[in-house]
Amino acid sequence: MLHCTIPTTPILPASSFKLDEVRLLDGPLKQAQDADIRYLLQLNPDAFLNPYLRAVGLPPKAPFYGGWESRNDGNAGEVLGHYLTAISDAWAITHDPRFKQRADHIVDELETCQNRREDGALFYDARLPEAWAQISQGHIKVDNPFLNGIATWYRVHKILTGLMDAHRLCRNQKALQIAIKLGDWACNVTRNLSAEQWQTMLEAEFGGINDALVELTEQTENPKYAELALRFHHNKVCDPLAARNDNLAGLHANTQIPKIIGEARIYERTGDPVERAIAENFWSTVVRHHTYAIGGTSKSEFFGLADRYAEDLAEDDCETCCTYNMQKLTRRLFTWGPRAEYGDWYEKAQYNHILGSQYQETGMMTYFVPLKSGLVRKYCTPFDSFWCCVATGMENHLLHANAIYYKHLDDHLWVNLFAPSEVDWTEAGLKLRQETQFPQNGAVVIRVLSGSEHKAAISIRMPAWSTGKPTIKLSGKLKDYTVNSDGFITITHLWRAGDHLDIQFGMGLRIEPAPGNAGVVSLAYGPLVLSGDMGDPISTAVPNDMPSPPIPVLTLDKRPIDDWLKRLDGETLAFRSVNAVHPHDLIFRPFAELRRRRTATYFKAFRTASGR
């Protein structure tokens, strides 16, 4: 199903800030960002360039890395585009010249590779020209994630995106010219495909190539790339979503999420309500019916049955790539109409899954995040893993500031997430700082650091976890307020330097039944999922292949949670169960903190007369 291009781009109610307009201050998000930056600087870009040089007969300048980068099955070459995006992000955040030097070097090398061919393609395997020639003639064989044994649009998507990020963030003009040639190749290689051949091709994973093509039109003002993006509409997946049907079970999760991001980008360009419905219905379906307590999705990379995710926990829950892409989609949807539920899910995913996916001492990242009791997370090694989730993980922790604030011109600012940070709202001539120890507690101060008098609205998300009625003071005086239908508290004021909003959200313990099964629960404190600490792994080399302790269960009566889950003396976010866990009580800590420990996150809950 193709939709006509509407010439005018919709005006969106909100927009995000640029990476260099928001600065994280000391806190868990800044610590994760710093760990990622340190790791990126350990990596040699020439190792990621190795397969691209070899594919065109040029000698590589460094050996390739291990893991997927060393395989001969089409997976080599995946990381380069992600790495180029990550170092471009890091340059925008830090202005450390080492990042721009690396980005410029990668662009120069890709130009050399591209100039060895006449068609503008960038290949990472010498078998690709023949495979793409077959595809261009309509001879298409799908063997997911590949086409004709070796080709994939996913790789084109990531290298095209990396080039455009180098242009957009590092101001590298050559990067855009290489991207244009690659975009032209994409147009040419598909120009003779019939509608039926297109749908056959789209059975294979194609990442967010539609998203990248719309971005290429935005950067070049040439509509042909966006017109090509329209052809990446996968009828089998998108049409049921447009009709509000949940047909996700059994589909590869991270194949679908990027293509829906592309549908969202097409809506932003065309205003087509069908594209909007697809993206919004997908988000609602995944978040409400296909999501774990920590915000992640997928079982062994696939969507499971709706509302049944807590019933078959394993080592391969929560592929981290999925949450990376769901966050990307959520950031776009927020700009279409700010809603607190977007921030509620984003916050849950950020402070539980994404922070828990990084081992901050080394910056290493997970592929899956197991939620079965007794298992421990496996993290990559610096140079020998390079799973897909390492590639997206390089980007994850540079984007922690992306969804904290949104704006509408100079008259409205949304505070969507709570994190120590500063934001330059240049349209309003204001600089603001958010001061908070979140998630240690729910106290947040929004302080105007500088700027002349300016009247504007500041909206603060009313989080779903907040207990009681929050208190708000404007420069020391209690402020009356209401929570609007979108879940925000809006304060309109003539702001000047020295003004400050003091917000106090209540934060408490709660039991969260699993969707579809009230007999399985998780525990939470504010936005944080609490996991029982089941001890050190027996083996750090193959931690989940060793025997694990007995699976704990909750044995509860009608006591409120505060009666049997008690805070440890001297600790804010550590609790001990009292006569409530069998076979023995546990200490509970935030899920993200238990990075090298066996954990229990979901519990079967049995109701007894005595609680034991």
Per-residue pLDDT for 524 more than 90? yes
- Residue 469 shares a structural domain with residue 568: no
36 shares its domain with 141: yes
Which among 555, 510, 516, 548 is positioned nearest to 529, based on CA atoms?
510
Check residue 566 and give its pLDDT. 98
Per-residue model confidence as pLDDT tens digits over 327-355:
999 999 999 999 999 999 999 999 999 99
pTM: 0.96
Whether residue 425 is found in the same domain as residue 546: no
Take residue 231 and report the two structure tokens written for it.
């052809």
Q: Is residue 539 part of a domain?
A: yes
The pLDDT tens digits of the residues spanning 175-226 come to 999 999 999 999 999 999 999 999 999 999 999 999 999 999 999 999 999 9
Residues 561-570: contacts with CB within 8 Å, 24+ apart?
A: 561/509, 561/510, 561/511, 561/523, 562/508, 562/509, 564/611, 565/509, 565/523
Is 372 part of any domain? no
- Residue 221 CA, distance from chain mean position: 28
Residue 28 and residue 420: Cα distance in Å, rounded? 9
Q: Are residues 106 and 177 in the same domain?
A: yes
Instruction: Calculate the CA 286 to chain-centre distance.
Output: 14
Per-residue DSSP letter, 21: G
Neighbouring C-beta atoms of residue 571, cutoff 10 Å: 11
Helix (H) or strand (E) holding 179: helix 173-190
Q: How far apart are CA 102 and CA 600, in angstroms?
A: 42
In a domain, 390, yes or no: no
Residue 546 binned pLDDT confidence (cut-offs 50, 70, 90): low
Do 602 and 461 reside in the same domain of the chain? no
Residue with tokens 């609007």: 484
pLDDT bracket for residue 543 (50, 70, 90): low
305: helix, coil or strand?
coil
Confidence of residue 86 (pLDDT cuts 50, 70, 90): very high
Q: Which domain holds residue 183?
A: 31-226
In terms of Cα–Cα distance, which of 119, 35, 132 is closest to 74? 132
pLDDT in tens, 16-48: 999 999 999 999 999 999 999 999 999 999 999
| 290, 313 Cβ separation under 8 angstroms | no
> Across-strand partners of 588?
532, 575
* Claim to verify: residue 501 and residue 460 sit in the same structural domain: yes
Task: Please determine, for residue 544, whether its predicted confidence score (pLDDT) is greater than 80.
Answer: no
> For 94-103, what is the mean pLDDT?
98
CATH number at residue 488: 2.60.40.1180
Q: What is the pLDDT of residue 9?
A: 64
Q: Is residue 174 part of a domain?
A: yes
Query: How many domains is the chain built from?
Result: 3
CA of residue 304 relative to chain centroid, distance: 20
Q: What is the pLDDT of residue 538?
A: 55
Q: In the chain, what are the helix, strand and coil shares in percent, each to the nearest 5?
A: 40, 20, 40
- Beta bridge partner(s), residue 490: 459
Residue 239 counted as domain residue: no
Q: Is residue 301 predicted with pLDDT exceeding 50? A: yes
| CA dist., res. 343 & res. 349, Å (int) | 10
Structure tokens at 585: 């009580």
Q: Same domain for 484 and 583?
A: no
Contact 193, 201 (CB under 8 A): yes
Give me the sign of the Cα torsion angle 460, 464, 466, 467.
positive
pLDDT of residue 1: 47
Q: How far is Cα 529 from Cα 409, in angstroms, rounded to an integer?
A: 36
Tell me what the pLDDT averaged over the chain comes to. 95
The 10 Å CB-count burial string (b at 16+, else e) for 367-402 is bbbbbbbbbbbbbbeeeebbbbbbbbbbbbbbbbbb
Q: Which of 475, 506, 537 is the last residue of a domain?
A: 506
Asked if 585 and 539 sit in the same domain, the reply is yes
pLDDT at 609 over 80: no
Question: Both tokens of residue 522?
Answer: 């998780």
Instruction: Confirm whether 354 is domain-assigned.
Output: no
Alpha carbon distances (Å) from 285 to 136, 326, 403: 35, 12, 21
pLDDT at 297: 98
pLDDT at residue 4, rounded to an integer = 45
Question: Within its chain, how far is the Cα of 136 from the centroid?
Answer: 33
At residue 294, does pLDDT exceed 90?
yes
pLDDT confidence of 550, banded at 50, 70, 90?
Answer: confident
Assess whether 552 and 491 both reside in one domain: no
Tokens representing 595 are 């990075």
Q: Do 215 and 76 belong to one domain?
A: yes
Residue 27 DSSP label: S
Tell me if 521 sits within 8 A of 602, measured CB to CB.
yes
* Residue 393 one-letter amino acid: G
pLDDT at residue number 537: 75
At residue 292 the predicted structure's pLDDT band, cuts being 50, 70 and 90, is very high
* Residues 148 and 217 placed together within one structural domain of the fold: yes
471 and 533 share a domain?
no
Domain final residue pick, 177, 200, 226: 226
Q: What is the pLDDT of residue 557?
A: 81
What is the arithmetic mean of pLDDT over 118-128? 97
Residue 612 lies in a domain: no
Q: What is the pLDDT of residue 536?
A: 82
Dihedrals phi, psi of 39, to nearest 5 degrees: -65, -40
Residue 299 falls within a domain, yes or no?
no
Please say which residue of 208, 226, 244 terminates a domain: 226
Q: SS3 for 525-546, per residue? A: ECCEEEEEEEECCCCCCCHHHC
User: Residue range 375-380: average pLDDT?
Assistant: 96
CA angle 485, 486, 492 (to 5 degrees): 90
The pLDDT value recorded for residue 608 is 67
Rounded to whole angstroms, the Cα distance separating 28 from 419 reads 8
